[in-house]
Amino acid sequence: MKLSLTPELQQSINILQYSTYELIDFLHRQANENPVLEISETFKEPPGSSESFIRTHKINSQLRGSSSKSFNGENDYNPINNYSVNTETLENHLLEQMSMLRSLRSIERKILQFLIGNLNEYGYLELDGNWAASHFSVSVEEIEDMIQVLQSLDPIGVGAKDLTDCLLIQLREHEDYNELAYKIVKKHITDLAEKRYRKIAGLYNVTVQEVQEASDFIRTLNPRPVSHFSKDMTHYIVPDVYVEKEKEGFLITVNDSYTPKLSINPYYKNHLAMNPGNKVKDYVKGHINDAQLLLKGLEQRQMTLYKVTATIVEEQQEFFMKGIAGLKPMTLKDISEKLQLHESTISRATSNKYIQTPHGLFKLKNFFTRGLNRVNSQATESTATIKEKIKVLIADEDKIKPFSDQKICQIFENEGTKISRRTIAKYREVLGIPGSSKRRRF
């Protein structure tokens, strides 16, 4: 005995788990392979009269503009097309500055251009000076001179050997030169990262407060000065589902405004009706059947995604009312039992999908979270809520006497949530928050 997946079932599974961009690509490929399919990028009245489709049309009309405004094909206003994208690369930015350096000799320009081309994604120069000197048949000193020229260009810090060198360059060029900060970065970067302020203060015969002020000054520098230069165009996330708060409940919408509309070319249907004995009948009929299965799969995807989202909203009403603090524990099994669907179907329906809520944009998967039991109660609290509370507690703590993990543990227990110190430490590390000794201010 074995279970075989039919091509129809396989296609439905794939369509369900596709993200919006993956679905768009898939539909274009299907339209190219199937001659009976017609594809249109313009917004149309969705087929069917189910609740989800009605809601989808209603909300998309609101998103595209006021109800009185009409949209016609290429004249439709698409806000994505109006985003400004910075296409200037770091290389072009530096080469433009190089062109202004009139005093450079021809060989120096070649070396500088070579150095610019060897910068890594952080703007650091990982290059063997001896090899470069041999390559250009010049002295190592000449290579070093061109590196100095590169490091004088904007942004300050470009061309550094590593993080320490990058910070030192910025400190040297800073209008408020801080000698202590320079010494700390040059010789004690590890101690600085570990916040061993007392050790550094003893080495330079200064107060802990002075070391802390130097540390604050260093934190104003940019460890990645070229981060605002992008090699690729900005990618935007398109929500797959919208949830809006209304006077009586929530409006749930499956977003299909960016999905191309598919239809079957009526010419081929008429051809079958008029030429039932034609030799190409089986060929055309096969493609029409494939097209109908695809359209059915798309409708099933919309319905499943709507039902899953509606159930999530029903289960997580506190979140949609209050935000992350209202998120409660929920599993795939909870949703699958309510909808009488397999857990794998719920997983595929929420995979790579985003939901726009009154409290921001989230992955649908974010709503599935484990929980911790509350003291003397059957209620549980989600891990996401616990993490959010830890962030708030630490943000509001006394910086001179920050909370230890044990203290945070006690605060939770006093509020009725049973949690171990080790779990607090794990969540704090996941949030990227250092321990109390490293958070302490002097």
pLDDT digits (tens, 9 = 90+) for 230-284: 555 455 678 899 999 888 788 998 888 878 888 888 877 776 666 656 666 777 7
Q: How much is the average pLDDT of 4-32?
A: 79
Tell me what pLDDT residue 369 has: 77
Tell me what pLDDT residue 372 has: 59
Do 125 and 118 meet the contact criterion of CB atoms below 8 Å apart?
Answer: yes
Tell me what pLDDT residue 277 has: 61
The angle, 0 to 180 degrees and rounded to 10, between the axes of the packed helices 7-17 and 20-33 is 140
Backbone φ and ψ of 266, nearest 5°: -65, -20
Tell me what pLDDT residue 235 has: 57
Q: How much is the average pLDDT of 297-306?
A: 90
pLDDT digits (tens, 9 = 90+) for 379-392: 556 777 788 888 88
Q: How much is the average pLDDT of 348-363?
A: 89
pLDDT over 50 at 49, yes or no:
no
Q: What is the chain's percent helix, strand, coil content, to nearest 5?
A: 55, 10, 35
Give the burial string for 241-258 (b: 16+ CB within 10 Å, else e). bbbeeeeeebebbbbbbb
pLDDT digits (tens, 9 = 90+) for 74-106: 344 344 343 444 457 888 888 888 888 888 889
Tell me what pLDDT residue 139 has: 92
Where residue 71 falls among pLDDT bands split at 50, 70, 90?
Answer: very low
Tell me what pLDDT residue 195 has: 86
pLDDT over 90 at 35, yes or no:
no
% of the chain beyond a pLDDT of 90: 15
Q: How far is the C-alpha of 234 from the C-alpha of 360, rounded, in Å?
A: 19
Q: Which of the pair, 165 or 383, is modelled with greater confidence?
A: 165
- Which of 113-117, 354-358, 415-419 bottoms out in mean pLDDT, i.e. has the lowest? 415-419
pLDDT digits (tens, 9 = 90+) for 181-202: 999 999 998 888 888 898 999 9
pLDDT digits (tens, 9 = 90+) for 135-150: 899 999 999 999 999 9
Q: How far is the C-alpha of 310 from the C-alpha of 300, rounded, in Å?
A: 15
pLDDT over 90 at 309, yes or no:
yes
Tell me what pLDDT residue 99 has: 86
Task: Give me 384's structure tokens.
Answer: 């996401």
Q: How much is the average pLDDT of 348-372?
A: 85
Residue among 267, 261, 266 at smallest CA distance from 295 = 261
Tell me what pLDDT residue 127 has: 86
Do 262 and 65 meet the contact criterion of CB atoms below 8 Å apart?
Answer: no
